Amino acid sequence: RDYGATTSVPAVGFADFSPTELYNLSEGIADNINTINSGLKAHDTQQKVNSSVSAVARDIQRLGAVVRRGDKPHKLQQVSEKMAAHMPRAKRIEADVLDVNQIIQELSTMVNEQSQTVESVESHIEAASANVEAGVDELAKAAEYQRRYRRKMFIFSMIGIVLLILLIVWIVKAFK
């Protein structure tokens, strides 16, 4: 794709001058030269000849400038035509940029929503971890209580057996 760059070099210079301006300048120069020639014959028109010489010099300079840089209205027309030709491409680029902006906004919204979901999952994981740690502590306490209970039951059972043996021994001695 070509993103706005021009592929052809614009033609400027000698070919862009106005033919009407060239014709008018050429006619003016010819008239002024004729006036100069006729003015040389008559001394009383010397001042008119001097002004014609100045006009010819100005017109020659103007002709050189026109040939060098071309006709500005013609150039402006060409630039306007090129801009009109590039306008659909610029509109398409603008539409693409707007589409990209919309996509970025949607992605931002999705990231924000997923961020909230991730934070919720993280808090649930932290709560579950804390509950598991508390459960481990409770199981350790329960195991300790169970061990103590069994030890007490064993001691009470031994005391009961010893008492039962002593009672049996006493009953046997008492009946003899």
Kindly report, residue by residue over 85-99, the tens digit of the pLDDT.
Answer: 888 888 898 888 899
- Angle (nearest 5°) at CA 81 between 80 and 82: 90
Which range, 21-25, 28-32, 153-157, has the best average confidence (pLDDT)? Answer: 153-157
Residue 43 confidence (pLDDT) above 60 = no
pLDDT for 168 equals 94
Each as own residue / partner, the long-range contacts of residues 81-90 (CB below 8 Å, 24 or more positions apart, any chain) are 82/6, 82/10, 86/4, 89/2, 89/4, 90/4
> Considering only CA atoms, which of 6, 4, 8, 14 is closest in space to residue 75?
14
pLDDT (0 to 100) of residue 126: 93
pLDDT surpasses 90 at 158: yes
Q: Is the pLDDT of residue 169 over 90?
A: yes
Q: What angle do CA 76, 82, 88 make, to 5 degrees?
A: 135
> What does the pLDDT read at residue 176?
79
Alpha helices (H) in the chain, listed in sequence order: 19-41, 46-69, 72-174
What's residue 25's pLDDT?
A: 78
Q: Which residue has the tokens 């006729």?
A: 38
CB atoms within 10 A of CB 70: 19
What pLDDT score does 41 carry? 57
Query: Residues of the chain with pLDDT > 90: what percent?
Result: 32
Q: In this structure, are residues 60 and 29 in contact, taking their beta carbons and an 8 Å threshold?
A: yes
